[in-house]
Amino acid sequence: MEETGTEREDVWGPIAMTNWRATPCIQGRAATEDDANAGRAVFFLSLSEGQESRPVDLDLPRCAILHEKGDGDLPVIVIQVEEGNNGAGAVELIAGYRPLTGGSGLCMLYQLEFLSGPDHRFAG
């Protein structure tokens, strides 16, 4: 089997940039626990009464640069974006991403600089 970085055996393994568009992601609906277990989503929300979560349409997967204070810039593949309402009126845009070297992470949408495709920061 050719390694693509998206095999089920290691859903959070490194991403092969030659095949980044095949990175599993979630679109058109809020993620479930099954999506998170399968590597299509980084998080799922167990909602209480009055809470809501809606997907944000961003043509995923998508290349982005995560800007973190003190940690610099990190090229990532965004696989999930949801708008959540905590029931008290606070609305937050949360993104799930995959670093190229493997793993997963969460951030606020404002921390991401979306790109139309990989740039020089995604090389090597």
Per-residue pLDDT of the chain (124 residues; tens, 9 = 90+): 344 444 445 789 999 999 999 999 999 999 999 999 999 999 988 766 666 788 999 999 999 999 988 878 999 999 999 998 766 667 789 999 999 999 999 999 999 999 999 999 998 6
d(CA 67, CA 74): 7
Residue ranges of domains in the chain = 8-116
Bridge partner list, 121 = none
Segment 90-102, tens digit of pLDDT = 778 999 999 999 9
Give 49's contacts (C-beta < 8 A, 6+ positions apart). 87
Nearest Cα to Cα of residue 23 among 80, 107, 65: 80
Give 87's contacts (C-beta < 8 A, 6+ positions apart). 48, 49, 50, 51, 52
d(CA 99, CA 105): 8
* Pairing of β 52-55 and β 112-114: unpaired
H/E stretch holding 105: strand 105-108
